[in-house]
Structure 1
Amino acid sequence: MKFSLSALTVAALMLAAPWAAAQNVAIVNGKAVPTARLEALAKQVSASGQPVTDEVRARMKEEVVLREIFMQEAQKRGVAASEEYKTQMELARQTIMIRAMFADFAKKNPVTDAETKAEYDKFVAANGGKEYRARHILVEKEDEAKAIIASLKGSAKFEDIAKKQSKDPGSGANGGDLDWATAASYVPEFSEAMVKLEKGQTTETPVKSQFGWHIIRLDDVRQAELPKYDDIKPQISQQMQQQKLAAFQKELRDKAKVE
């Protein structure tokens, strides 16, 4: 007597098959590769900012299958018993645990809106006020600087001399232009001389700093243009979160008894 499946049994198997397949990405040498592995990899890719398209998902599926193939071969060869494998596994375990601990700390110690606003206000207080657009010519010797000042009182152009004689390669190529900056951006000797100048005025005497001798011309002055709070709030929050994490790490290190 031949054995045959009833119509009800066949229908049940047909209904169950898609469900069973959905649980696994593939069956490799008789071993199921669960879909959870693919989803975990997709989550990592998505977290990196890359969209998980059908094409990307197909490549990830192949990656998961290849990993299973290679893992099976590694197990056959007894790789798990080697000291190198054990050492690397321990390092990986430590990395994962530490990363998870820091993620948990960040979750439980978020940067508040009040904290970011207070930090922004400090930034404004430190960087507000005036910005200066200046040019300078940097030389090594005071006599050389004095000679340049004398030539500028004649028909010589500041920009031309800066291009030819300035020892500052960054600004020299641009005719001595230092772009817009606050006075605090420069060394004290330079900023003190610069802020005393009127628009269009050049220093009458050379200014000495740790870099050499400067001839400074002030081209313009304006109120500092600072970014709006909402525009830089994410950066402030990220920076403050990093500071909190650094403080947490230092606290743990300081409390640890290391012999």
Structure 2
Amino acid sequence: MKRRFSPWPAAVAMMLGAAGTGFAQNNNPTPPAPPANAAPVAPAVNAAPAPAANPAPPAPPATDPGPPPPPPSRPFTPPPPMAPAPKPKPLIGPPGVAATVNGEKITTAQVSALALKVAGPSLVDQFINNMLLDQEAKKKNVTATPADIASRIAEARQQIAQQFPGRSLEDLLAQNHRSLAEFKDNIRYRVLAEKLAGGTVQTIPSLHVRHILILTQNPTGAPDAKPHTEAEAQTIIAKIQDALKAGQKFEDLAKQYSEDPSNKEKGGDLGIINAQTQFDPTFLAAALKLKKGEVTPTPVKSMYGLHLIKADSTSADPTPADKPLYDAAAKQAQQQQLAQQVPAYLQTLRAKAKIVNYLAQ
């Protein structure tokens, strides 16, 4: 259940084309350094914003496209005009010179030729995908509205605020040599692709969980971790179970006993999870069996130690406070399912189109 952070917030990564579907015009982002591995469990990819960090084992980065598409039957209106491209910076060195090494020149022509050879075919592929989407959207009167784009930008800002406090969307875009106009353009193509590709989306049950972790291992090598023997951990778990039977609150016991520093002070709160959440498989399987108010009857063993897990509520029986979180989680799960449909849809468009990519030959 090693803590893992994607170097980009999911919404930003998706809009920059990080999922490999080819919407970005620049295919070489340089992500910022991820936060330190401070907790034994990772944030849930599908969790709605909640007042707690989420657990998970190492796993491939999840994709997180954006809000669900409205029906593609509205009258066609032209896409919103994009902001003009930023003016190029004035040349610092001599014209046509990219660098010098001991007085010997490396020309911009050399750099351009290599860049065209290495990155040219894939960049042209991205432009091809975008043009196909524009053509198909025009045929079917599908648009990415200003509201669609504004919603995705708001989502990206929210994720950045949660994962990189003190940083802004503009900061991360500038770090990767992107403008806000380019980001909006990538959003527009992402929205068009989801609306055009949108198929059946399943509703995924979810629940709001807490846990108490007693360490028996230290796989991350955290200097302040003090693992117990299995027998010691079982004794502590039994003591916690007795306290629960006596009427003590789970969240109070989590604050007292849990050895997960990412959520100990928050009563072990892990937020909203579902079957798509990237948690330790054993932990996730045990959690998903719980009903509202239930605690796992026996401790659940992970690569970190022993857990007691409690379901505060479920999507089928939410508390008033959790209802907005479940709505957000359902929306995010729907977006993820739509994102999985986009690559196949693009392949279908390409198969029907007459395409000649001269750089790929």
Residues 293, 313 of structure 2: 8 Å contact kept: yes
Which residue does the alignment assign to 1:139?
Answer: 214
Once the two structures are TM-superposed, the CA of residue 119 in structure 1 deviates from its matched residue by 6.4
* Cα displacement string for residues 104-135 of structure 1 (whole angstroms, at most 9, x for unaligned residues): 2223344647974686547x44xx32111011
Residues 149, 205 of structure 1: 8 Å contact kept: no
Instruction: Describe the shift of the 1:157–1:109 C-alpha distance in structure 2 as closer, same or farther (beyond 3 A).
Output: closer
In structure 2, C-alpha distance between the alignment counterparts of 1:161 and 1:228, rounded to whole Å: 31
Which residue does the alignment assign to 1:227?
Answer: 331
Which of these two proteins has the greater Rg computed from alpha carbons? 1
Structure 1, unmatched stretches of 5+, are 1-44, 53-59, 245-254
Once the two structures are TM-superposed, the CA of residue 139 in structure 1 deviates from its matched residue by 0.5
Which residue does the alignment assign to 2:110?
Answer: 90
Matches within 5 A, 1:230-245: 236=339, 240=343
Once the two structures are TM-superposed, the CA of residue 178 in structure 1 deviates from its matched residue by 0.9
Residues 184, 191 of structure 1: 8 Å contact kept: no
In structure 2, C-alpha distance between the alignment counterparts of 1:143 and 1:81, rounded to whole Å: 67
Residues 187, 209 of structure 1: 8 Å contact kept: yes
Q: What SS does the aligned partner of 1:133 have?
A: strand
Match of 1:171 among 250, 263, 266: 263
Which residue does the alignment assign to 2:299?
Answer: 206
CA RMSD in angstroms, aligned pairs only: 4.5
Q: What SS does the aligned partner of 1:107 have?
A: helix
Once the two structures are TM-superposed, the CA of residue 182 in structure 1 deviates from its matched residue by 0.4
In structure 2, C-alpha distance between the alignment counterparts of 1:150 and 1:171, rounded to whole Å: 22
In structure 2, C-alpha distance between the alignment counterparts of 1:163 and 1:118, rounded to whole Å: 48
In structure 2, C-alpha distance between the alignment counterparts of 1:99 and 1:208, rounded to whole Å: 46
Higher strand share: 1
Larger RCO (CA within 8 A; separation ≥ 6) = 2
2:227 equivalent to 1:156: no
In structure 1, C-alpha distance between the alignment counterparts of 2:263 and 2:284, rounded to whole Å: 16
In structure 1, C-alpha distance between the alignment counterparts of 2:343 and 2:304, rounded to whole Å: 34
Q: What SS does the aligned partner of 1:217 have?
A: strand
In structure 2, C-alpha distance between the alignment counterparts of 1:157 and 1:81, rounded to whole Å: 68
Residues 291, 314 of structure 2: 8 Å contact kept: no
* Cα displacement string for residues 189-248 of structure 1 (whole angstroms, at most 9, x for unaligned residues): 22332233331122222121222111111110105643389x969x949x849x98xxxx
Which residue does the alignment assign to 1:26?
Answer: none
Instruction: Describe the shift of the 1:197–1:81 C-alpha distance in structure 2 as closer, same or farther (beyond 3 A).
Output: closer
Instruction: Describe the shift of the 1:90–1:144 C-alpha distance in structure 2 as closer, same or farther (beyond 3 A).
Output: same
Residues 146, 205 of structure 1: 8 Å contact kept: no
Residues 135, 217 of structure 1: 8 Å contact kept: yes
Once the two structures are TM-superposed, the CA of residue 149 in structure 1 deviates from its matched residue by 0.8
Matches within 5 A, 1:9-48: 46-47=84-85
Residues 210, 309 of structure 2: 8 Å contact kept: yes
Which residue does the alignment assign to 1:102?
Answer: 122
2:89 equivalent to 1:71: no
Match of 1:180 among 250, 272, 276: 272
| Code of the aligned partner of 2:331 | P
Residues 146, 206 of structure 1: 8 Å contact kept: no
In structure 2, C-alpha distance between the alignment counterparts of 1:139 and 1:80, rounded to whole Å: 58
Q: What SS does the aligned partner of 1:218 have?
A: strand
In structure 2, C-alpha distance between the alignment counterparts of 1:71 and 1:88, rounded to whole Å: 10
Once the two structures are TM-superposed, the CA of residue 152 in structure 1 deviates from its matched residue by 1.3
Q: What SS does the aligned partner of 1:86 have?
A: strand
In structure 1, C-alpha distance between the alignment counterparts of 2:211 and 2:308, rounded to whole Å: 5
Once the two structures are TM-superposed, the CA of residue 100 in structure 1 deviates from its matched residue by 4.3
Task: Identify the range of structure 1 (204-213 vs 97-106) with the bigger mean alpha-carbon deviation.
Answer: 97-106
Which residue does the alignment assign to 1:36?
Answer: none
Identity of aligned residues (%): 26
Residues 137, 166 of structure 1: 8 Å contact kept: yes
Residues 204, 275 of structure 2: 8 Å contact kept: no
Q: What SS does the aligned partner of 1:136 have?
A: strand
